[in-house]
Structure 1
Amino acid sequence: MERLFQITRTLVEGRALDGSPRAWRERYCADMRTRELFGPEDYVKVPPEYRLWFWPADLRGAIRDLNLVPSSGLVGT
């Protein structure tokens, strides 16, 4: 949430973003009900009230600490 706030504030203030303007699309989404982890484009499969977001840099720790299970889209089945 903090990173998204920083991106939004930067844009509202009319300043340029560091890196890609679509960096927010790199986030992964977990369903808090099932602990299933979805890729950046599959977040729509999780109802908004159950979405928990992760940046790629935080993903390994989130999988370990929260015992997340990759969705079939992430493992290619």
Structure 2
Amino acid sequence: METIFQTPGPHHAASTSAERLLTIREAADVIGSHYWQLQRAVKRGDIPSYTPFNSRKLVKLSEVVAFVDASRLGGNL
């Protein structure tokens, strides 16, 4: 019988894990911001968004925090 699954190749690091994607509302709740503020930033392209399976936009918390930190310091990403 042929094996369907193969062991990860050298391009996969053993300790890496994918970061969980959050809805814009979930991310806003985590950082204590208003939903519409993050929604505007995503719409402008300031925060990257992902739509893997449907039309709902998802964001990475690390990218949201990086945007907020860059905005607070007055610098660019």
TM-score bracket for the superposition, by shorter chain length:
under 0.3
Larger Rg, first or second structure (1 or 2): 2
Between Structure 1 and Structure 2, which shows a larger proportion of helix residues? Answer: 1
TM-score, normalization by structure 2: 0.27
TM-score, normalization by structure 1: 0.27
